């Protein structure tokens, strides 16, 4: 009998309430899922809100970037009852709801025994300008302070695809578990070029780059396989798109599977999570194929699934047999020491 991974509701429970809302996150936390995910960013006056898009337009109809607004201008804005997700999906809800403050959301789900994923956004590419870097630092520091204030260090994971948002989290409180989320967007050449330029400012990476980092399309596999960004921000988690895990198309050709990479270059006891989106990405997923994919990943050590269709994923995992493990307090997290390794050899 196989122990199934924790199932994390991406952006809450989008089938009952709008994404990233107090109502949707509470529904996920009160339901049968093992955890809940939410996206967090800051307003122009540094109020931490739960909201994923950089602009209000898709969810509210108001065409304004979040960072140009103070919280008082956002507080009265309603999220629509009809929300488009991805290319072909529109979800309809019974009523409009408000954009919540992070503190209100965390207070509502505190102590429920859930694994709480806080994703710091926007997060596809690293911030380039001094102003963007400063904003990233304030967001990470603010989230870390709030987690400590609410005494939720043992309930929360903080993740981002932008490592500059994660640095101040670990600096503010090294006991908060963090992780750099690895996404398919990292393999696009414009993103690769930006990462190569900006990541050199991360701790310990300048010397590493000079010695070993490849150029061009091989740069993304280099980051994936060595774990150098995760280690540079003192990360303890590895989560990536389900399409990347164990997929040779995203590897350099020098490694075999994700779990082998993690054990060799991250930590021998490292476990990984899969980010599985059915509706946001520009593709249609066949659920029979996904079920086989999940079963294969589970046998190779997958520990958790972050998904926008948690009910379907739980049904798929139930079909392979076994019982769900308890996320807290027995969820094991491996902390890195900062020692960069490339395919078994120390970089410096």
Tens of pLDDT, residues 44-59: 999 999 999 999 999 9
Confidence category of residue 282, pLDDT binned at 50, 70, 90: low
Q: Which residue has the tokens 């010397």?
A: 207
What would the two tokens of residue 59 be? Answer: 């969810």
Q: Which two tokens stand for residue 339?
A: 């020692």
- 116 φ/ψ sector (left φ>0, alpha ψ -120 to 50, else beta): beta
Q: What is the pTM of this model?
A: 0.90
* Distance from C-alpha of 232 to C-alpha of 132, rounded to nearest angstrom: 20
Under the banding of pLDDT at 50, 70 and 90, the label for residue 63 is very high
Rg of the chain taking only CA atoms, in angstroms? 19
In this prediction, residue 121 carries a pLDDT of 93
pLDDT tens by residue, 243-274: 888 888 888 765 567 778 887 888 777 778 99
285 pLDDT tier (thresholds 50, 70, 90)? confident
Whether residue 236 contacts residue 278, with contact meaning beta carbons closer than 8 Å, is answered with no
Run of H or E including 89 = strand 89-92
Q: Please tell me whether residue 229 adopts helix, strand or coil conformation.
A: helix
Three-class SS state of 160: strand
CA-wise closest residue to 250 among 226, 222, 221: 221
Q: Could you tell me the residue ranges of all domains in the chain?
A: 6-182+228-247+270-328
The hierarchical CATH code for the domain 6-182+228-247+270-328 is 3.20.20.190
């Amino acid at each position: 009998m196989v122990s199934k991974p924790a199932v994390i509701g991406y952006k809450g429970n989008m089938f009952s309430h709008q994404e990233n809302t107090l109502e949707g996150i509470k529904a996920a936390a009160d339901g049968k899922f093992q955890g809940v995910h939410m996206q967090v960013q800051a307003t122009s006056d540094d109020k931490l809100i739960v909201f994923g898009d950089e602009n209000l337009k898709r969810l509210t109809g108001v065409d304004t970037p979040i960072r140009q607004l103070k919280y008082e201008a956002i507080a009265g804005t309603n999220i629509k009852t009809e929300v488009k997700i991805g290319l072909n999906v529109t979800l309809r809800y019974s009523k409009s709801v408000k954009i919540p403050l992070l503190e209100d959301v965390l207070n509502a789900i505190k102590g429920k025994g859930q694994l709480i994923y806080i994703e710091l956004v926007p997060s596809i590419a690293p911030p380039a300008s001094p102003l963007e870097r400063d904003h990233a630092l304030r967001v990470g520091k603010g989230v870390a302070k709030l987690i400590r204030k609410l005494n939720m260090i043992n309930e929360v994971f903080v993740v981002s695809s932008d490592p500059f948002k994660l640095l101040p989290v670990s600096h503010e409180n090294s006991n908060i578990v963090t992780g750099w989320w690895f996404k398919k967007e990292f393999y696009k050449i414009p993103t690769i070029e930006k990462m190569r330029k900006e990541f050199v400012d991360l701790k310990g990476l300048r010397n590493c780059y000079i010695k070993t980092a490849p150029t061009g399309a091989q740069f993304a596999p280099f980051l994936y396989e060595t774990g150098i960004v995760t280690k540079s921000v003192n990360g303890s988690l590895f989560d990536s798109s389900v399409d990347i895990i164990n997929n040779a198309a995203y590897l350099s050709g020098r490694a075999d599977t994700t779990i082998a990479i993690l054990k060799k270059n991250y930590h021998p006891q490292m476990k990984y999570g899969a980010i599985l989106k059915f509706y946001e990405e520009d593709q249609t997923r066949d659920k029979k194929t996904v079920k086989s994919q999940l079963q294969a990943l589970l046998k190779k050590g997958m520990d958790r699934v972050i998904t926008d269709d948690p009910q379907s994923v739980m049904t798929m995992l139930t079909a392979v047999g076994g019982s769900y493990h308890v996320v807290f307090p027995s969820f094991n997290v491996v902390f890195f020491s900062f020692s960069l390794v490339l395919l078994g050899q120390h970089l410096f």
